[in-house]
């Protein structure tokens, strides 16, 4: 008959740490997937409107972004609280939009230059006057494909 | 029987399984942010094209500075806009053979649009109107177009236009299928072309027409 040796009392068994790497990898993967690379920091408030009849904006390399909205709190002292245009990392006036588009278009490879889309990321509280001016500028430089970037959701939420 | 006070070892072998379960859960539930929006094409600036259109073929929509919607100078609630747009586009009032719209199911009111090809929705917005409302109007109009296109796609090809479009853009669809889909999608698009104009229109008066 086997003899059971009794362990010393009060001696806690070590918790296995073998699965710790798994947990760490899990966290790593989680953050890798949910974060998106941000290439320009926002200087303007940018609550996009909602819409339902939307299409996905695929192929990020074919998109030029224009941000419009009220300057954020920290910039309001300098730039006021009227909606402004943000191109790359700077505030800009309407007449700079054309040259910005041309400069961005020149940076893209030749074969993509004719298929570029301009994504207008406009705050829902911005006024249409500014947007109309931007659209006029876009027409001048022949950037005719636009995408009014929105969130997916009921458009009636835009009224609040 | 007397229990020993010995602590049993925690079994850690299944920890990895739990971790992977969590990982897969997050992978499935989190949406990686993709940009979505309404695609529109601006009119070209090169050619100043004065299209002469009949007043009956134009549906005038405007937004004033208080974000109120006006259709043909009457106030309209935004929820009614889709119905109105559908009725206008689908009217098919033309009686001449070459302009006659066979597939229109509208009221064929001679005072409204001739056929969907010539029908234009003119959208004007005040400089102080908010962008959110503008997008909402665009969205409602797109919904009207989608409803009509879906109806025709159902009648002709037995499936929704949106489904057809999706299949056409999907990468896994093979070439032969794409070719037929392209023809079908274009046929539906030609039936109800998206004519939303934001420019000033030259409207012929009714007397001249």
For chain A, the structural domain boundaries read 50-155
Asked whether the beta carbons of A98 and A141 are under 8 A apart, the reply is yes
Chain B interface mutation, best of A6, A14, A22, highest count of B Cβ atoms under 10 Å: A22
Cross-chain Cβ contact A128/B26 below 8 Å: no
Q: Is B28 on the interface with A (CB under 8 A)?
A: no
Asked whether the beta carbons of A150 and A124 are under 8 A apart, the reply is no
Dump pLDDT digits (tens) for A81-138: 888 898 888 888 888 999 999 999 999 998 888 889 999 999 988 888 889 889 888 8
Of A15, A131, A149, the CB nearest to B10: A15
What span, in angstroms and rounded, lies between the C-alpha atoms of A58 and B93?
40
Taking the CA of residue B205 and the nearest CA in chain A, the distance in Å comes to 28
What span, in angstroms and rounded, lies between the C-alpha atoms of A91 and A87?
6
Cross-chain Cβ contact A145/B139 below 8 Å: no
Dump pLDDT digits (tens) for B37-80: 888 888 877 665 566 777 888 888 888 888 888 888 888 888 88
Q: How far is CA A135 from the centre of its chain?
A: 21
Q: Is B200 on the interface with A (CB under 8 A)?
A: no
What span, in angstroms and rounded, lies between the C-alpha atoms of B4 and B13?
24
Q: Which residue of A has its CA nearest to B25?
A: A30
Q: Within 13 A of B54's CA, how many CA atoms are on the CB side?
A: 17
Q: What is the pLDDT of residue A103?
A: 92
The predicted model scores a pTM of 0.76
What span, in angstroms and rounded, lies between the C-alpha atoms of A131 and B130?
10
Cross-chain Cβ contact B38/A54 below 8 Å: yes
Q: Which residue of B has its CA nearest to A151?
A: B36
Dump pLDDT digits (tens) for A45-78: 888 888 888 888 777 788 888 999 998 888 888 8
CATH label, A50-155, candidates 3.30.450.20, 3.20.20.70, 3.30.1360.120, 3.30.420.270: 3.30.420.270
Domain boundaries, chain B: 52-204
DSSP string, A45-110: ---PPEESS-EE---GGGEEEEEEEPBPHHHHHHH-SS-EEEETTEEE-GGGHHHHHHHHHHHS-G
Q: What is the DSSP letter of B101?
A: -
Give which of B170, A124, A20, B202 is closest to B178, Cα–Cα.
B170
């Amino acid at each position: 008959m086997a003899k059971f040796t009794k362990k010393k009392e009060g001696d806690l068994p070590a918790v296995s740490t073998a699965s710790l790497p798994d947990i760490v990898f899990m966290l790593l993967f989680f953050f890798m997937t949910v974060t998106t690379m941000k290439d320009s920091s926002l200087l303007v408030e940018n609550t996009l409107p909602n819409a339902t009849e939307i299409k996905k904006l695929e192929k990020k390399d074919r998109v030029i972004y224009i941000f419009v909205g009220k300057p954020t709190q920290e910039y309001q002292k300098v730039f006021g609280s009227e909606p402004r245009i943000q191109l790359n990392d700077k505030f800009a006036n309407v007449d700079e939009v054309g040259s910005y588009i041309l400069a961005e278009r020149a940076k893209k490879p030749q074969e993509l230059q004719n298929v570029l889309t301009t994504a207008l990321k406009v705050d829902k509280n911005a006024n249409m006057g500014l947007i109309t001016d931007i659209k006029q500028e876009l027409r001048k430089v022949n950037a005719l494909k636009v995408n009014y970037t929105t969130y997916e959701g009921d458009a009636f939420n835009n009224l609040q | 029987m007397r229990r020993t006070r010995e602590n049993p070892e925690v079994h850690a072998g299944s920890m990895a399984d739990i971790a992977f379960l969590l990982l897969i859960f997050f992978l499935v539930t989190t949406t990686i942010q993709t940009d979505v929006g309404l695609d529109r094409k601006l009119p070209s600036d090169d050619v100043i094209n004065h299209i002469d259109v009949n007043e009956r073929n134009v549906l005038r929509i405007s937004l004033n500075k208080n974000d109120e919607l006006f259709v043909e100078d009457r106030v309209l609630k935004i929820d009614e806009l889709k119905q109105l747009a559908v009725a206008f586009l689908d009217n098919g009032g033309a009686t001449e053979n070459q302009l006659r719209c066979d597939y229109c199911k509208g009221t064929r009111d001679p005072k409204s649009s001739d056929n969907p090809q010539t029908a234009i929705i003119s959208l004007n917005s005040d400089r102080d109107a908010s962008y959110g409302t503008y997008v909402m109007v665009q969205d409602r109009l797109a919904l009207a177009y989608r409803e009509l296109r879906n109806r025709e796609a159902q009648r002709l090809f037995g499936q929704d236009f949106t489904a057809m479009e999706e299949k056409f853009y999907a990468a896994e669809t093979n070439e032969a299928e794409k070719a037929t889909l392209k023809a079908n999608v274009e046929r539906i698009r030609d039936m109800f072309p998206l004519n939303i104009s934001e420019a000033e229109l030259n409207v012929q008066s009714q007397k001249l027409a």
